[in-house]
Amino acid sequence: MTRDFVRRLVRRLGSTVPALPLAPSTRREVILIRPDHLGDALLTIPALRALRATEHRLYLTLLVGPWTREVFMLRGLVDEVLVASFPGFRREPTRNPFEPYRLLFRLAGSLRRRGPMALVVLRDDHWWGAWLGALAGVPVRVGADHPAIRPFLTHPIPLQSQHVAARNLELVTALLTVLGYTDDSRPLAPEAYPLVWPSDPVAARAVRDVLERCCVTAPYIVVHPGSGAAAKCWPAERWATLVDTLAERGYQVLLTGSASEHALLATIVAATSSAPHNLAGQLSLPELAELLRKAALVIGTDTGPLHLAVAVGSPTVHLFGPTRPERFGPWGPRARHRVVQAQLRCPRCGDIGPDRACGTACMMAIDVDDVLGAALELLESRSIR
């Protein structure tokens, strides 16, 4: 019996499994499920801030993967953070095809005992999370009107927006309407619902120490070459050329990445003549935020740290290949952010699965000069100072 067969069978039968009885609760708890990684987590912040800003006092609980728990520990953003190692988002194979469903039933029992009044599935196609809410007997279950999750929802919402941040805002607005609350009528745009990340004095001091150790005295640019999906990678030699060109113009360049990306960054450094600093694996998430906050510019692919750069107010250049900037682009003032993508006839397929390696045509078609031009435009613009 293959994994795909098990998955299809369970999804088909899932909506017919009776829900567990819900425990009574006087707490006005709303469970929000966000299973994915850093970028999607950050793009949830405007919706959470909108919920928190309403006069209706709801107890907000986030159910997230361990990989984004730190994002949601911001003071006052939510009341509680629950962690689950969501199947399909671990970036490692599941050995037992039945394990995701054992976890599902365990979590359903846990949610049933909490007795939440509502649940919101923030990812359009997350049928596992939607079924979790149905199995736990949560009376109000809100999510996108997507075929994969529609059978498990009480209120499937036809979303009109393209951008993920706006879609999150649509869902929480729909939740308030379903619960009988009024919501504001501001446009679903960054100006009305900004993406922000608060400063951290402790992390800022640590970053000052890093900059002193690296002898960074000139305005610096942060380059984040890595990505959680190989299909979004840009060739190392092009990063090296870009870094050297920026260094020739008087900017010191810092390369950032996770510990697992150290080899990639080392390859880039080895191909340069300017020897940029390799900070892979050396910064916590709050420290990375503070490093980005002080940068003259941040350059990278469609990845979480670039959204973090937007959140701290730094100007950014985003390289887009298989994913669509209308959906995942910078959620911030247009004057401060640039998207660079190849002008190919093929549609943005969105295929960033593990079977796709580096070197996709849409990333290979991005020229160094295009990225450099966008970077210099921002660096020379008075509007970002």
Task: Note down the domain range covering 132.
Answer: 3-178
Please check whether residues 151 and 238 belong to one and the same domain.
Answer: no
Residue 342: the pLDDT is 85
Residue 70: the pLDDT is 92
Please check whether residues 52 and 168 belong to one and the same domain.
Answer: yes
For residue 192, tell me if it sits in a domain.
no
The helix/strand/coil state of 364 is: helix
Residue 1: the pLDDT is 45
For residue 45, tell me if it sits in a domain.
yes
Residue 6: the pLDDT is 47
For residue 194, tell me if it sits in a domain.
no
DSSP string, 274-331: S--EE-TT---HHHHHHHHHT-SEEEEESSHHHHHHHHTT--EEEEESSS-HHHHS--
For residue 55, tell me if it sits in a domain.
yes
Please check whether residues 166 and 259 belong to one and the same domain.
Answer: no
Please check whether residues 281 and 376 belong to one and the same domain.
Answer: yes
Residue 137: the pLDDT is 96
Q: Pick from 142, 163, 178: which residue ends a domain?
A: 178
Please check whether residues 159 and 223 belong to one and the same domain.
Answer: no
For residue 186, tell me if it sits in a domain.
no
Please check whether residues 168 and 243 belong to one and the same domain.
Answer: no
For residue 29, tell me if it sits in a domain.
yes
Please check whether residues 141 and 238 belong to one and the same domain.
Answer: no
Among 189, 178, 174, 172, smallest CA distance to 50 is for 172
Residue 285: the pLDDT is 97
Please check whether residues 288 and 360 belong to one and the same domain.
Answer: yes
Please check whether residues 214 and 164 belong to one and the same domain.
Answer: no
For residue 91, tell me if it sits in a domain.
yes
Residue 140: the pLDDT is 97
pLDDT tens series, the chain, 385 aa: 454 554 555 555 555 555 555 555 557 999 999 999 999 999 999 999 999 888 778 999 999 999 999 999 877 789 999 999 999 888 666 677 788 889 999 999 999 999 999 999 999 999 999 999 999 999 999 999 999 999 999 999 999 999 999 999 999 999 999 999 876 678 899 999 999 999 999 999 999 999 999 999 889 999 999 988 888 899 999 999 999 999 999 999 999 999 999 999 999 999 999 999 999 999 999 999 999 999 999 999 999 999 999 999 999 999 999 899 999 999 999 999 999 998 775 655 544 445 554 657 889 999 999 999 999 999 998 555 5
Q: How many alpha carbons lie under 13 Å from residue 338 in its C-beta half-sphere?
A: 20
Domain count, the chain: 2
Q: Is 63 left (phi over 0), alpha (psi -120 to 50) or beta?
A: beta
CA 275 remoteness from chain centre: 30
Which residue is associated with the tokens 């846990």?
Answer: 110
Residue 140: CATH number of its domain: 3.40.50.2000
> For residues 305 and 336, is the Cβ–Cβ distance under 8 A?
no
Please check whether residues 54 and 151 belong to one and the same domain.
Answer: yes
For residue 188, tell me if it sits in a domain.
no
pTM (predicted TM-score): 0.90
Residue 40: the pLDDT is 96
Please check whether residues 41 and 100 belong to one and the same domain.
Answer: yes
Please check whether residues 146 and 241 belong to one and the same domain.
Answer: no
